[in-house]
Structure 1
Amino acid sequence: MRAVSSWGRLDAPLHRVVVLNDPAKVKSLVSGGDSLGLAHGMGRSYGDACLNPEGILWLTTGLDHLIAFDGSTGRLTCEAGVLLRDIQRLVISRGWILPVTPGTQLVTVGGAIANDVHGKNHHLLGSFGDHVQRIKLLRTNGEMIDCGPHIQPDWFAATVGGLGLTGIIVEAEIQLRRVASPWLQTETIPYGDLDEFFQLADGSEADWEHTVSWIDCVSGNGNRGLFMRGNFSDSEQRPEPKKRQLVMPFVPPISLVNSLSLRPFNAAYYNLKKSKAGSAIVHYESFFYPLDNLLEWNRMYGPKGFFQYQSVVPREAGQDATRAMLGEIAKSGEGSFLAVLKTFGNRQPVGMMSFPRPGVTLALDFPNKGAKTHKLFECMDAIVREAGGRIYPAKDARMPRDLFEAGYPRLHEFLKYRDPGISSGLSRRLIGA
């Protein structure tokens, strides 16, 4: 048995880890056993969606082969353990890129599908699942299912955003998008309050593909922030920026995110970015994945780990609900310097259990302070529940079951496609098996 933790480092339960690295042997390794298992990629889910305490983890990172790529159409077929980073670096010089990626490219294709990850361009291109054309899904009874938007679409809708609970994704076919260069024309705009944020967000969707905002949740002066937007540029080729990758070398005895550090850090970050506000040409890796330059950054929260709380609420309730959540954070004395606020476009999700929906999403990291942190989350849950919103399971480690059921109204439809040989900490906590 091996101790395995998710990205939040809240605990490290024991697992029996089975490495999958030979496609010809995957079926024999995952079928016919009497123990419940779960596919596990890079473990970048924050809570227990990627864990199966005391059970089997099928480690998929060895399934890392690119199978086929058509440079004329941008159609890519690969195994599920391929990292998004490796796809990007292969195809960008050929004029292609993944249409949608999350805030890190150190995730597997299988994980991106299972969590139907989203990026900064949901209003234009939706989520990752919108660009998946085919999935090869292995059930633990040995059955192999090919599914896609037009091939067994019900199985496809259950698997995209299905948290790995419908089977093991072993292969996928993805439609890439053309880009003229790896560079983006970007603009950074400081704003003073939520009213300004929503004006910028609504006013940017028509002309800007990528929009996102960092918000200072502890400033005490109306929640100032930095609104960032970008479009791919046809800028002439220039040298790629030097990758200065750092590593958080150890776990400090206490969280480095605390009442002493948070306010000065946020103020310094805001003022530094404000001084450099305006237009710039930025490499796609710097714009999309700034935290990938600091490996193991999750260690900074200390030995107790941290939570991420990410919600989405309908647009009509978004402004009031966001203001109320930020108010509860301020009242609690807690805070986050990794606080992201953005809007989702008016697009329906492709997956039965997909998180993105039309509305406003707020994501914040909090060091684990036990009962004090949970009390804050209960207040935020009440706001999300009243607004008719939902919590992101890929980021969750403590969502109450009633909020999960209310936020995902297709849950009972999804359960028909569950693989009885697969289980996770999250599924046992929120579904009961």
Structure 2
Amino acid sequence: MFADRAKIFIRSGKGGDGHVSFRKELFVPCGGPDGGDGGRGGNLIFEVDEGLNTLTDFRHIHKYAAKDGESGGKRRCHGKDGESLIIKVPEGTVIKDFESGKVIADMSGENRREVILKGGRGGQGNMHFATPTMQAPKYAQPGQSAQELWVQLELKVIADVGLVGFPNVGKSTLLSRVSNAKPKIANYHFTTLNPHLGVVDLEGGKGFVMADIPGLIEGASEGVGLGHDFLRHIERTRVLVHVVDAASTEGRDPIADIHAINKELGSYNSELLKRPQIIAANKMDAIYEEDENPIEKLKAEFEPQGIKVFPISAVSGQGVKELLYAVSELLQTVNLSPIIFDKEFDLRSLVEKQLPYTVEVTEDGVYVVEGPRIEKMLGYTNIESEKGFRFFQNFLKDNGILEELEQAGIQEGDTVRMYGLEFDYYK
């Protein structure tokens, strides 16, 4: 089965902790602080690999993590930076936040490499916290936490033209005739399980990439059959070619088939119905002269809507050249810039999401502020020093904690408690 979706867990590296140490040298009984900084955590990077065309590799490995930065050492030694992790994906892969479904990045067009999660900063050693009044600080800054996220990878095939239609109408046969693609062809339903791409070269005309999009049946937009697995591949195409069995060799009505396919396309994504369309009335070699001409019916139904009908035979090649030149001309009327999905997910929110805090009021009127973000800050801040207290005040302001306290109704003189630290609130 063609793998075009995968759910994986990704994590950047944690920053290394700063180190607490003091110089110990002969005849220097009270050496100053010399704790080194921690190394930066590795980044989590996605990169396009031209040799890949499926997401099969992600079926067996579901967790990917960059290396953590090393802690700092004595004698001002800096910890080693963590190694970044590069994840290779095929072109056309869209990375989405699994929880919200929002687009994080689209690995298409000029976007060949992107840092998705940044490694945590290394913490500063105690040598940075020495002041005239605090010459021997016994604390250091811990490394910044790693960023982590469950993401959904979706491969959306990049093609100019998409062949759509019900199974067994000749899409694979047409693609194999006009391009270098070699799809498997047989006379039974759901032969094609993989989207196939082919490059169409035209004499005196501009070539284009054509894709056979399989799996479309009634109910596809609701996930029936293979619908959702392949509808996503149509989203990048600029022109849609309806391939229908004009001879009704299996008793199908080609006009009803086109309406049914358009209904599924519109239900999945209404923007798809705005794409230019052409009808390839296939299997003309199976229509006998004494039969009623189905081409005239197709033209009467769709050409008033601006959708041209081309009678063809994918087996014999009849009418195929005319169809391809019409498709080429239609492509010149649409925007030729790559269809890239815009970013919707703000990765900066991850840090705040993973380090929350709460503001609560006790029965005796004390405002309690707690949470990983607060505890982390207090772990490396010396409130007793002037520099540390100023940092503490700025932290409360910059992170919106003071504003939230005011929204909770705090007044001047009220008590605020944070992990054993109590102080009176004044503006």
TM-score (norm 1): 0.21
More relative contact order, 1 or 2 (CA 8 Å, 6+ apart): 1
